[in-house]
Amino acid sequence: MTKLGRDFFDRDTLAVARDLLGKYLVRMWEGTALVGRITETEAYIGRCDKACHAYAYRRTPRTETLFAPPGTAYIYLIYGMYHCLNFVTEAEGEPAAVLLRGLEPVEGVVPMSLNRFGKLPGELTPYQKKHFLDGPGKVCRALALTRAQNGLDLCGEELFLHDGGEAPPPFHTGPRIGIDYAEEAVQFPWRFYV
């Protein structure tokens, strides 16, 4: 496997969102590698996208990480309870990122299951197994990611991405989820999923 470097993130956000599908996210946690294959992403581009937290270059304490160098983790809290992991893209100062919406578990399933449900994988219901990592809050919970990891370097040793060398998976596109307030941006086909 090849670790993805900063140049992977320092590109057009839509290209990064597509190219992340099939890549592996690795979270080193308590001496264990928690690994998942990326199955769903959404792109957010501040200069033109009313769904982006930094639309029209709006800088606040919450959005400051969006202006960081490409390859930085932007983690925010929604509804006061769910964390969401994003990968900052494009040039430093250009607020854009890719939201991680879904993973397929690959390694470290036991700690991921304990983090998510407080149960071992064999104790999960069929519903819990089916919806194990199919949402941004679920992913962060399973990987023990919170605002404490906001700003992490995705080219470091705690949270990073690998290319397994497989052919890119076939994928679908569609509108993003949960952005009804974003006027014309609601219809942007910036969600990518396998």
Contacts of residue 3, defined as CB under 8 A and 6 or more positions apart, other chains included, come to 155, 160, 161, 162
Res 107: pLDDT: 98
What is the residue-level pLDDT of the chain in tens, covering all 194 positions? 799 999 999 999 999 999 999 999 999 999 999 999 999 999 999 999 999 999 999 999 999 999 999 999 999 999 889 999 999 999 999 999 999 999 999 999 999 999 999 999 999 999 999 999 999 999 999 999 999 999 999 999 999 999 999 998 999 999 999 999 999 999 999 999 99
Fold for 9-166, please state it: 3-methyladenine DNA Glycosylase; Chain A (3.10.300)
Among 158, 161, 187, 165, CA closest to 175: 187
pTM here is 0.96
- Give residue 80's pLDDT: 87
Report the distance separating Cα 112 and Cα 90, nearest Å: 31
- Collect all residues with Cβ–Cβ distance below 8 Å to 13 and sequence separation of at least 6: 43, 44, 45, 89, 90, 96, 97, 98
Rounded distance between C-alpha atoms, residue 103 and residue 134, angstroms: 6
pLDDT of residue 99: 98
3-state secondary structure of 26: strand
pLDDT at residue 151, as a whole number:
98
